[in-house]
Amino acid sequence: MILKKEELIKIRNYLGKSQNELAQLLGCSLKSIQSFEQGRRHIPIYIERQALMLLHLAKPPEKRWQPCWAIIECCTEKRSQCPAWEFQAGYICWFINGTICHGKVQESWQKKMEMCRECKVFKGLLPD
């Protein structure tokens, strides 16, 4: 699932950025941001990933530094095989392809995001 236009708008508002400022941060044009927010263009994966990372970085530290394995109580066996554990990046597990969630390796960004959108780790990232 691709980032929805409403979610991009919420992220931009949470960050306190204008469309132009967000375009600069994401390395795209103002016209692109306007097109994404109006629903005329799909939001590319690279824009989605960057926007989510900026959102993560804008969260207060106590809301962004809990590893996924602690939040979802992942068992040691699965944890030891997961790239999020290997790189000690459980606080951005949603950003890393190849993670092991619900016992399965998540191979593509689209499939991974379908699962992440149902996970309390990722849901804690999104603004209300």
CB-based contacts of 125: which residues, under 8 Å, 6+ apart? 52, 55, 56, 59, 64, 94
| In a shared domain, residues 15 and 39 | yes
Residue 51, token pair as written in the block: 């926007």
In a domain, 128, yes or no: no
Say what the pTM is: 0.88
For residue 79, what pLDDT is reported? 87
Strand stretches in 1-127, DSSP E: 100-101, 104-105
- 101 in a structural domain: yes
pLDDT of amino acid 1: 47
Which one, of 118, 99, 116, lies nearest residue 107 by Cα?
A: 99
Residues 86-94 have a mean pLDDT of: 92
Q: Domains in the chain: how many in total? A: 2
* Same domain flag for 118 and 83: yes
The parent domain of residue 36 ranges over 5-58
Q: Are 94 and 116 in contact (CB under 8 A)?
A: yes
- Of 107 and 122, the structure prediction assigns the larger pLDDT to 122
Q: Are residues 111 and 70 in the same domain?
A: yes
Same domain, 68 and 115: yes
